[in-house]
Amino acid sequence: MYKLFCPACGAQVEVKSAGWAMAVCSYCRSTLLRDADTVRNIGRMSEVIEDHTRIQINTSGQYQGKNFAVVGRIQLRYEDGFWNEWYALFDDGSAGWLSDGSGQYVFTLPAGKPNRAPTFEQIHPGNTIPWDNAQFTATDVRSAQCTAGEGELPFVVGSGYMARVADFRSGERFLTLDYSEGDTPQVFLGVATTLEDLKCQLLREADQVEETAGKLKGKASSLECPNCGSGIDYAPGKAEHLVCPSCHAEVSATAGQAEVLHKHDELESVVTSLQLGDIFTYPAVKWQLIGLMRCKETGEESSIWVEYLFFNAQRGFQWLVETDDSWTLTEVLNTLPEKHTSSVRHAGKNYTKQWTYGAEVIYAAGAFNWRVSIGDQTSITDYMGPDGTLSEEMTAAEVTWSLGRKISAEDVAKACNKPALATRQTASTADSPLGGLAKIATIILLALNFTNIFSSPGASIIVLGIGLLALWGPIWFGNVDLSGD
């Protein structure tokens, strides 16, 4: 432990690493730069924007059998959001980084510089490179600006510090090529993980997240849209990218004030089965609905669906997708499935490729953990398997994977305390295109067997039963959750 006094305010600042290069005074926010045996104040560092993270300075845990403690943080912002990089110091004096974004965590250790590597401009999502006896796929490629920091850090950062990083995955393994210092990247190797696996202690409690995270000065739980003045329900600590339900302006609430990012033309009001603020209790966890999007499939014959974003301070984020005839709980994966020509393998199970299509956001309202814009487009490939549907979503900057499992309309109605949803969903099944064809075929089947019912009732009933089961079985059983989850 090293102790020094802040040149600006005189407060005592403690640092734990002998190799520290910069520290931020927790009292006056002055940035203290180590210069040989002296300390210089080079100005104030912006305050970090508190979000839904449970990590804080002094959070401790274990990684690869060694104890660590979090001693610093930088916050990196890109066009559509931001994430935290926590600087962790081990008992033996070595250090690593714990990345925290949208409820997903990755722990990496420095691995030097490569003998040969692609340029940053050559890397695109979906590209693969061999590394450390494995094949890694690029899943996130972007430039970001350091906007804030706290604690002690091994290098000097400021509001003008630009990070150019390319993230790769191979299963749960994680590789980062950091081009921030030049054309030759620094390499960081690690794994996707969870706070439970890291055995983290001294985490922020749920009530701390709710009370302090993301709050605007002078605002408690709502704010006025800077564009139209309408009230926006705002849940501090959950998400800071808002879409006004009235005028559909995109609003950022991450800079200590509400700021309009983009204005959209007035859209017709959309009525959805669930509304912002609804509580979804499933299976025994209480989730709150904070954002919703209406999406359509791009192309001539396009289907439409609604995606609901829920938040729980302990569990993070959860998606629920509603189509005309089904509901699906969707989990964003923190590990990369093993991809083959027409199939993928995940958690020891095979999934077969079904179809590839484009998706476009046509309506959005509420709060999100990234910037949502009406007109956003994504390329999606679905794979069917024993545990549900694996979906690969690709944009120009990133690739994400999710696993969707069907949930019955009755369970959704019970979880949301909205009994009408169960009957509405059942009715929509019969009104679907497949249901319409089944109705026509049923009428034809009855007409062809009408006279036989009187001459050979036993045989006719058997034939009708088999025919009706063949027609309606895929519809009836296709909407029953047989997974047991």
- pLDDT tens-digit map of 101-145: 888 999 999 999 888 889 999 999 999 999 989 999 999 999 998
Give SS3 for 94.
coil
**Percent of the chain predicted with pLDDT > 90:** 45
Q: Residue 382's beta-bridge partner residues?
A: 355, 391
pLDDT for the residue numbered 461: 67
Provide the mean pLDDT of the chain: 79
For residue range 82-94, list pLDDT tens digits in order.
Answer: 899 999 999 999 9
pLDDT for the residue numbered 155: 80
Confidence check: pLDDT of 402 > 90? yes
**Percent of the chain predicted with pLDDT > 70:** 66
Stronger pLDDT, 253 or 422, i.e. the higher one: 422
How far is the CA of 33 from the CAs of 37, 68, 91, in angstroms?
11, 24, 24
pLDDT for the residue numbered 142: 94
pLDDT for the residue numbered 261: 44
pLDDT confidence band for 255 (50 / 70 / 90) = very low
Compute the average pLDDT of residues 427-444: 52
pLDDT confidence band for 9 (50 / 70 / 90) = confident
Cα–Cα nearest to 84, from 46, 53, 108: 53
pTM: 0.71
Q: Which two tokens stand for residue 325?
A: 């005839």
| Lowest-confidence region among 109-113, 117-121, 401-405, 447-451 | 447-451
CA distance 426 to 216: 43
pLDDT for the residue numbered 67: 98
Most confident among 142-151, 214-223, 449-458 (mean pLDDT): 142-151
Cα–Cα nearest to 331, from 344, 316, 347, 350: 316
| Lowest-confidence region among 87-96, 252-261, 277-286, 409-418 | 252-261
Handedness of CA 138, 143, 148, 153 (dihedral sign): positive
Q: Residue 149's beta-bridge partner residues?
A: 74
Compute the average pLDDT of residues 370-377: 84
pLDDT confidence band for 471 (50 / 70 / 90) = low
pLDDT confidence band for 5 (50 / 70 / 90) = confident
Neighbours of 231 (CB within 10 A): 12
pLDDT for the residue numbered 110: 96
Total length of the chain: 485
How far is the CA of 466 from the CAs of 32, 362, 469, 472, 473, in angstroms?
80, 43, 5, 10, 10
Stronger pLDDT, 195 or 263, i.e. the higher one: 195
Stronger pLDDT, 227 or 286, i.e. the higher one: 286
Compute the average pLDDT of residues 315-324: 91
pLDDT for the residue numbered 254: 54
| Lowest-confidence region among 55-59, 144-148, 369-373, 389-393 | 369-373
CA distance 190 to 155: 21
Cα–Cα nearest to 139, from 401, 402, 399: 399
For residue range 271-304, list pLDDT tens digits in order.
Answer: 899 998 899 999 899 999 988 899 999 977 679 9
pLDDT for the residue numbered 42: 44
What does DSSP assign to residue 336? P
